[in-house]
Amino acid sequence: MKKSWNALLVTALAAPQEAAALNNSVGLKPHMGWSSWNVAQCNAASARYALATADKFISLGLKDLGYEYINIDDCWSTKSRDGAGRLVPDPAKWPNGIKPVADKIHSMGLKFGLYGCAGEKTCAGYPGSQGHESGDAAQLAGWGVDFWKYDNCYTPCNQNPRPQTCNSPAGNTRTWYAPMRDAILGVQATRKLHFNLCNWGRDQVWTWGAQYGHSWRMSVDNWGDWASVERIGSAAAGISQYSGPGGFNDLDMLYLGSSKINANQGRLHFGLWAITKSPLVLGLDLEKISAETLAVVRNKGIIDINQDSLGKAATTFRPPGAAAPVGGKIYPYWAGPLSDGVVIGLCAGTSAGTYAVNFKDVPGLGGTRSYSWKEMYTGQTGTGTSVSFNIALHDMRVIKVTTA
Ligand code: GLA
């Protein structure tokens, strides 16, 4: 039987069973927050961005909705370690170091994350953690870091010299992650970190990720265009069974509101990431976010579905008469269990039209009874044995059907 990260934590802490796992561990729901990378890559890896974003979490009401982690991605350190082998925050970006920023963010009721890499260097060429895992974990714990994204550049593979990106297949990538996992377990008594594996879905990470971390990137990057939403969203359907409390498929940062994606595509992007229980991490500059995008990412009904305590990811289902899924395209019909019902996602991924389902055909519903439902983007509600929506191209409807 697969040993979960939470089980490992319990073992490591030798703490009393169930309650200890719940009280002591993180990642029991998909994490919600913000990451600097899509905002301005290396230029956004600064105290200024972290603190400005924390302020926006409060003023825009995002914190109240569950957005919690302020995560700084690649390029926050200097290009070399100090004489003692420690990572050094770039003084131009962190004039007072990391700790005062983490402290300030904690004082606002939020959490703070950083980025590192399992190889010799990060993807952007900053120091990686290979061979420095326990020292780096101790540094993170000392600074009060809550979240550690761990990338897979300049990792060992059968290529010489070591490339930035190993060819696929790259062999057993678990060995890249085990030393840092163990180092993080080693500092659990002082700091509980969320460990986010970023290996771009290599080596079927979803089959082993829960033994190594709390979430794992299941694809290469979301490049902010519709093709990325199609590529990543369609791939999520086949791996839904691996997501659950303590270990979630990470579909990558949310990129809606960019010039490469329209409003319909943004709603599908957010809705599909939410129902497949991906972490909801805004890759947006909150100083510039539009009212339209804000309305999507603040949709409480959809956030509540993402954060449902059951933590079960939706996947596709095929109603009678519907065409079979096509690889790489977003299938229209999705459903997943909730603690008090079922979520149905209807996606006009390939054509606009009328999308209807009879509840008797939906996994988790069935029978001939009538159900109450609510559609979360339009606010429409109803009671009956089916739903039907006219959906514009690339838009989505997210319907919660209550069974309680
Ligand atoms: C990789 C990751 C991205 C980002 C960059 C930073 O490409 O997949 O999410 O962290 O590295 O260099």
| Residue 5, pLDDT above cutoff 80 | no
At residue 4, the pLDDT reads 56
Are both 218 and 363 inside the same structural domain?
no
Q: Does residue 311 lie within any of the structural domains?
A: no
At residue 293, the pLDDT reads 97
Where is the domain boundary, 259, 280, 306?
306
Give the other-Cβ count within 10 Å of 321's Cβ. Answer: 6
Please compute the mean of the pLDDT values over residues 234-255 and round it to a whole number.
97
Are both 353 and 262 inside the same structural domain?
no
Where is the domain boundary, 279, 306, 333?
306
| Residue 336, pLDDT above cutoff 70 | yes
Q: Does residue 279 lie within any of the structural domains?
A: yes
Q: Does residue 312 lie within any of the structural domains?
A: no
The token duo for 7 is 């089980």
Q: Indicate if ligand 1 lies below 6 Å from the C-beta of 124.
A: yes
Are both 100 and 238 inside the same structural domain?
yes
Q: How confident is the model at residue 9 (pLDDT cuts 50, 70, 90)?
A: very low
Where is the domain boundary, 260, 287, 306?
306
CA of 37 to the centre of ligand 1 (A): 7
Average pLDDT of every residue of the chain: 93
CA of 115 to the centre of ligand 1 (A): 9
Q: Indicate if ligand 1 lies below 6 Å from the C-beta of 37.
A: yes
Q: In total, how many domains does the chain have?
A: 2
Give the other-Cβ count within 10 Å of 91's Cβ. Answer: 10
Domain range enclosing 216: 5-306
Q: Indicate if ligand 1 lies below 6 Å from the C-beta of 73.
A: yes
At residue 19, the pLDDT reads 26
Are both 265 and 362 inside the same structural domain?
no
**212 vs 184: CA distance, rounded Å:** 10
Q: How confident is the model at residue 25 (pLDDT cuts 50, 70, 90)?
A: confident
| Residue 365, pLDDT above cutoff 70 | yes
Q: Does residue 106 lie within any of the structural domains?
A: yes
| Residue 235, pLDDT above cutoff 90 | yes
Q: What CATH number is attached to the domain comprising 177?
A: 3.20.20.70
Are both 30 and 116 inside the same structural domain?
yes
| Residue 7, pLDDT above cutoff 70 | no
Q: What CATH number is attached to the domain comprising 330?
A: 2.60.40.1180
Ligand 1 atom with minimal separation from the 123 CA: 12
**100 vs 94: CA distance, rounded Å:** 9
Please compute the mean of the pLDDT values over residues 81-100 and round it to a whole number.
98
Are both 99 and 234 inside the same structural domain?
yes
Percent of the chain with pLDDT over 70: 94
Are both 240 and 352 inside the same structural domain?
no
Are both 119 and 182 inside the same structural domain?
yes
Are both 348 and 285 inside the same structural domain?
no
Percent of the chain with pLDDT over 90: 89
Please compute the mean of the pLDDT values over residues 291-314 and round it to a whole number.
98
What burial class does residue 203 get, using C-beta atoms within 10 Å of its C-beta: 0-12 exposed, 13-18 middle, 19+ buried? buried
Are both 191 and 286 inside the same structural domain?
yes
* Backbone φ, ψ for residue 10 (5° rounding): -60, -45
Are both 244 and 370 inside the same structural domain?
no
| Residue 72, pLDDT above cutoff 90 | yes
Are both 255 and 387 inside the same structural domain?
no
Q: How confident is the model at residue 257 (pLDDT cuts 50, 70, 90)?
A: confident
